[in-house]
């Protein structure tokens, strides 16, 4: 109860229990409350150290507290934070130049999250089709088990009904097809479709890469009817697969690409990238957001992209991926009957629990925490690893050692 106007002292003690009293209960966080972190190592209030293979869900790809990113943020914070969209600013112009130089795109729109980047992409696709083809062409095709964010439009595009239940009425004219199913895509992509949205590597849906043939087929079907192809690279982009963007490894170009998560290494920023002819369908006043591409976001993201886009950096991601994947294959052999598959791409990997352990991915991550290892899940049956891309060989080996200890703990009969 607030019966005085006194501010809460910044140092007042808070605990995990306060979460259950104070927060809208849309999350069920771990009991571990992180306090500080550097690189892949994170500490709680008691000073216990954890090896972080989550990167804050694929966000801190350069590790916690990366010096160049910290420097960019501090220098910009001392200079200019925010001006509003009545003015542009130098950091965002540099960032737009970087992103367009390094990708298929020649136009960028900035926002604050992955959902907002996808919201912009879907709105652009609808408007582009309305201007070019008339009102009848407005259907959006997305994949089952996909995830595109939590705004009403993007959560409806996501192919997981449990996330839309109770939020009806949903935006109409959005259909879902099974992922990696070419005949189903061909049937669904007709003259009424304005866009197809797909994750080149499904993240939340279980760490499932698209096949090259599938993305090539989507490209062909979209071109056939004049629909836009949107790649949601919010999770798989920015070096995660060992390519700057996953589409580059596939050799299939989208019309619109969305990127966020790792773009700010923890500073909230997202972007939608596209070509001039498509971008022209959004004119002044048709879309926007207050913070989108503000100087702080621009400076931080600029530092991030400059590092990740270096060929030597991406080569090291591929090398680290090979070492980690080999180690995970070894883990599978050491504990037969625990996992059936290591899948994914680059440093976006999933361990698929065997039939006997279905539904227990969360139990596995809880066991890992007792071994001071932080892991993610991707649905109830998949343990997901998204380590920072700067993970060293020694850290990969330490992670594998802790994973073995976790597997022993997980498989031990309950006391
Ligand atoms: C996380 C994620 C989003 C949503 O990003 P937010 O920043 O949480 O809005 C969208 N698409 C994919 C593929 C994601 O992994």
What's the CATH number where 403 sits?
A: 3.90.1150.10
- Identify whether 272 is part of a domain: yes
Q: Each residue of 71-83: pLDDT tens digit?
A: 999 999 999 999 9
Q: Enter the DSSP assignment of 181.
A: -
Q: Is 399:373 a contact under the CB 8 Å cutoff?
A: yes
| Closest atom of ligand 1 to CA, residue 57 | 1
Q: Domain range spanning residue 170?
A: 67-308
To test the pocket of ligand 1, the residue of 156, 235, 237 to mutate (highest count of ligand atoms within 8 Å of its CB) is 235
C-alpha 100/C-alpha 305 separation (Å) is 11
Q: In this structure, are 158 and 207 located in the same domain?
A: yes
Last residue of a domain, one of 277, 308, 339: 308
Quote the pLDDT of residue 9: 59
Residues 178 and 133 placed together within one structural domain of the fold: yes
Atom of ligand 1 nearest to the CA of 113: 7
In sequence order, which ranges of 160-233 are alpha helices (DSSP H)? 182-188, 212-225
> Residues 258-270: pLDDT tens digits?
999 999 999 999 9
Write the pLDDT tens digit of every residue in 201-219. Answer: 999 999 999 999 999 999 9
Are residues 292 and 156 both part of a single domain?
yes
Asked if residue 5 belongs to a domain, the reply is no
Please report whether residue 8 resides in a domain: no
Encode pLDDT of 337-395 as tens digits. 999 999 999 999 999 999 999 999 999 999 999 999 999 999 999 999 999 999 999 99
Q: How far is the CA of 114 from the centre of ligand 1 (A)?
A: 4
Assess whether 316 and 299 both reside in one domain.
no
How many A from CA of 9 to the centre of ligand 1?
34
Residues 300 and 340 in one domain: no
Are both 20 and 46 inside the same structural domain?
yes
Query: What is the phi/psi pair of residue 20, to 5°?
Result: -70, -20
For the chain, percent helix, then strand, then coil, each to nearest 5?
A: 40, 20, 40
121, 230 Cβ separation under 8 angstroms = yes
C-alpha to C-alpha distance for 297 and 314, rounded to whole angstroms: 23
Asked whether residue 404 falls in the same domain as residue 304, the answer is no
Q: How far apart are CA 384 and CA 344, in angstroms?
A: 9
| Domain finish residue from 268, 291, 308 | 308
Number of domains in the chain: 2
Instruction: Kindly state whether residues 198 and 244 are assigned to the same domain.
Output: yes
Number of CB atoms found within 10 A of residue 126's CB: 22
Residues 264 and 333 in one domain: no
Residue 65: left if φ>0, alpha if ψ -120 to 50, beta else—which one? left
Answer yes or no: do 242 and 164 share one domain.
Answer: yes
> Do 395 and 358 reside in the same domain of the chain?
yes
pLDDT > 70? residue 413:
yes
Report CA(88)–ligand 1 centroid distance (Å): 26
The span from the CA of 320 to the CA of 391, in Å, is 7
Q: What is the CATH number of the domain that holds 167?
A: 3.40.640.10
Residue 267 Cα to ligand 1 midpoint, Å, equals 14
Residues 274 and 360 occupy one common structural domain: no
Of 308, 324, 358, the residue that ends a domain is 308
Q: Are 144 and 175 in contact (CB under 8 A)?
A: no
């Amino acid at each position: 109860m607030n019966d005085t106007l006194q501010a809460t002292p910044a140092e007042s003690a808070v605990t995990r229990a306060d979460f259950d009293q104070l927060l809208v209960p849309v999350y069920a966080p771990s009991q571990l409350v992180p306090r500080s972190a550097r690189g892949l190592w994170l500490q709680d209030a008691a000073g216990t150290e954890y090896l972080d293979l989550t990167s804050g869900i694929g966000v801190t790809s350069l590790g916690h507290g990366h010096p160049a990113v910290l420097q960019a943020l501090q220098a910009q914070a001392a200079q200019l934070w925010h001006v509003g969209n009545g003015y542009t600013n130098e950091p965002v112009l540099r960032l737009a130049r970087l992103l367009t130089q390094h990708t298929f795109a020649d136009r960028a729109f900035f926002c604050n999250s992955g959902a907002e980047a996808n919201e912009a992409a879907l709105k652009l696709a609808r408007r582009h089709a309305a201007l070019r083809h008339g009102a009848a062409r407005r259907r959006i095709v997305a994949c089952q088990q996909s995830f595109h964010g939590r705004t009403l439009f993007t959560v409806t595009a996501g192919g997981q009904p449990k996330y839309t239940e109770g939020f009806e009425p949903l935006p109409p004219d959005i259909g879902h097809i099974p992922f990696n199913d070419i005949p189903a895509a061909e049937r669904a992509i007709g003259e009424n479709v304005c866009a197809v949205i797909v994750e080149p590597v499904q993240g939340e849906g279980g760490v499932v890469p698209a096949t090259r043939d599938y993305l090539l087929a989507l490209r062909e079907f979209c071109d056939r009817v004049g629909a836009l192809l949107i790649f949601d690279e919010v999770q798989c982009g920015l070096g995660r697969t060992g390519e700057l963007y996953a589409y580059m490894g596939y050799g299939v170009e989208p019309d619109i690409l969305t990127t966020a998560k790792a773009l700010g290494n923890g500073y909230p920023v997202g972007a939608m990238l596209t070509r001039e002819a498509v971008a022209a369908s959004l004119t002044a006043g048709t879309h926007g957001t207050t913070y989108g591409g503000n100087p702080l976001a621009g400076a931080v993201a600029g530092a991030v992209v400059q590092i990740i886009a270096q060929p030597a950096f991406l080569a090291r991601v591929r090398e680290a991926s090979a070492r980690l994947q080999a180690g995970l294959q070894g883990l599978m052999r050491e504990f037969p009957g625990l996992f059936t598959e290591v899948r994914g791409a680059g440093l976006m990997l999933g361990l698929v629990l065997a039939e006997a352990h279905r539904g227990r991915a969360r139990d596995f991550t809880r066991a890992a925490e007792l071994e001071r290892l932080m892991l993610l899940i991707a649905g109830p049956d998949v343990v997901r690893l998204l380590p920072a891309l700067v993970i060293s060989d020694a850290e990969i080996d330490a992670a594998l050692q802790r994973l073995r200890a976790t597997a022993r703990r997980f498989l031990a009969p309950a006391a």
